[in-house]
Amino acid sequence: MGVASPPRGSSPGGIWYELGMKRSSVLVVDDEEDVRGLIRLLLERAGLDVTEAGSGREALRRLHQVHPDLVVLDVTMPELDGWQALERIRDLSDVPVLMLTARAAELDKVRGLKAGADDYVTKPFGRQELLARVEALLRRSAGPPEVREAYADGAVQIDFASREVQILEPRPHAVQLTPLEFRLLGAFVRHPNQVLGRDQLLELVWGDAETVAADQVKLYVGYLRRKLAWDVAERSPLETVRGFGYRYRPSMEDALREQAPGAALPTST
Beta bridge partners of 175: 165
Please name the residues in contact with 209: beta carbons below 8 A apart, sequence gap of 6 or more: 199, 200, 202, 203
Nearer to Mg ion, 60 or 229 (CB): 60
β 49-53/70-74 pair status: unpaired
One residue of 52, 74, 159, 181 binding Mg ion per CB under 5 A: 74
The span from the CA of 79 to the CA of 85, in Å, is 10
Nearer to Mg ion, 31 or 108 (CB): 31
| CA 234 vs CA 86, 132, 153, 237, 265: distances in Å | 42, 51, 18, 8, 28
Which 3 state secondary structure label does DSSP give 233? helix
Binding mask 31-50 for Mg ion (x = CB under 5 A): x-------------------
Beta bridge partners of 231: none
| Cβ 206 to Mg ion shortest distance, Å | 33
| Cβ 90 to Mg ion shortest distance, Å | 20
Which 3 state secondary structure label does DSSP give 144? coil
Q: Note whether 48 and 24 are within 8 A (CB).
A: yes
| Cβ 212 to Mg ion shortest distance, Å | 35
- The one segment of 75-83, 151-159, 166-174, 256-264 that binds Mg ion by CB under 5 A: 75-83
One residue of 1, 40, 60, 76 binding Mg ion per CB under 5 A: 76
Q: Which of residues 13-32 bind Mg ion (CB under 5 A)?
A: 31
User: Would you call 89 exposed, middle or buried from its count of C-beta atoms within 10 A (0-12, 13-18, 19+)?
Assistant: buried
Nearer to Mg ion, 30 or 119 (CB): 30
84 part of the interface to Mg ion, by CB under 5 A: no
Residues touching Mg ion: how many (CB under 5 A)?
A: 3
Nearer to Mg ion, 35 or 229 (CB): 35
- The one segment of 68-76, 121-129, 170-178, 199-207 that binds Mg ion by CB under 5 A: 68-76
| Cβ 106 to Mg ion shortest distance, Å | 20
**What does DSSP assign to residue 9?**
B
The span from the CA of 147 to the CA of 186, in Å, is 16
| Cβ 30 to Mg ion shortest distance, Å | 6
Nearer to Mg ion, 99 or 238 (CB): 99
Sign of CA pseudo-dihedral 42, 105, 54, 62: positive
The span from the CA of 90 to the CA of 84, in Å, is 10
Q: Note whether 8 and 16 are within 8 A (CB).
A: yes
State the residue number with the nearest CB to Mg ion: 76
| Cβ 54 to Mg ion shortest distance, Å | 10
| Cβ 99 to Mg ion shortest distance, Å | 11
Nearer to Mg ion, 87 or 231 (CB): 87
Q: Which residues bind Mg ion (CB under 5 A)?
A: 31, 74, 76
